[in-house]
A and B are shown apart, each in its own frame.
Chain A
Amino acid sequence: AQSVAQPEDQVNVAEGNPLTVKCTYSVSGNPYLFWYVQYPNRGLQFLLKYITGDNLVKGSYGFEAEFNKSQTSFHLKKPSALVSDSALYFCAVRRGYGGSQGNLIFGKGTKLSVKP
């Protein structure tokens, strides 16, 4: 069965420092992996996805994620954090094999807090 795990409930970073939000996955077949962000009182916003190709995926707002097949990880990164990056971040994997990219299994979310 497909699943994702976000081992950290919260990540605290100082503004200007690099940030990493961790995600590991378990899938049968090729993984379709996604990151979404949720700001307070807003819906989930798509950041980036990995389907195939380069292991380093670049997305919105300067975020990127590295797909690591041997470690079954898909960590979200940003070289220099902003206070405005503070939000809830969700890793997700496509449900099943052959389903649409909107059929997702989400991790529990990681709260990112960036302090000035």
Chain B
Amino acid sequence: EPEVTQTPSHQVTQMGQEVILRCVPISNHLYFYWYRQILGQKVEFLVSFYNNEISEKSEIFDDQFSVERPDGSNFTLKIRSTKLEDSAMYFCASSVGGLTEAFFGQGTRLTVV
């Protein structure tokens, strides 16, 4: 069964450093998403991406964040200058279209020290 894959599974970075989280969505999917879950809190929507541009973003997704689909298979989330409060599990998801449900990856645990 096709699945969304995320790498790495766990990343530790120093405060102020840039980090890139990588995702390979399911191959025929056209909509891509990033979510995060701070430990003990809700899963929160960050951004959706379609047709090579951001279609919606939350208030969390500020100028420190950016997304990119650098080629036909990867979808990345970049955090420019990480803060301690960016420590969370980050989930990538994809869907065939806007009218279909999303499938999630297993997540990348980001720890900022």
Contact = CB atoms under 8 A, between A and B. Distances in A.
Interface of A: 34, 36, 41-46, 49, 90, 95-96, 99-109
Question: SS class of chain A's interface: helix, strand, loop or mixed?
Answer: loop
A66 to B, nearest CB: 19
Interface in B84-113: 91, 93-95, 97-107
B65 interface: no
Given A43-B105, A43-B106, A100 B50 contact: yes
B42 A44 contact: no
A18 B42 CA distance: 26
A41 B97 CA distance: 27
Given A43-B107, A44-B43, A106-B44, A101 B98 contact: yes
B75 interface: no
Contact of A100 (B35, B48, B91): B48
Interface in B28-78: 31, 33, 35, 41-45, 48, 50, 55-56
Interface of B: 4, 6, 31, 33, 35, 41-45, 48, 50, 55-56, 91, 93-95, 97-107
A101 B107 contact: no
Nearest to B6: A43
Contact of A95 (B31, B56, B97): B56
Contacts of A96: 56
A103 B102 CA distance: 9
A95 B104 contact: no
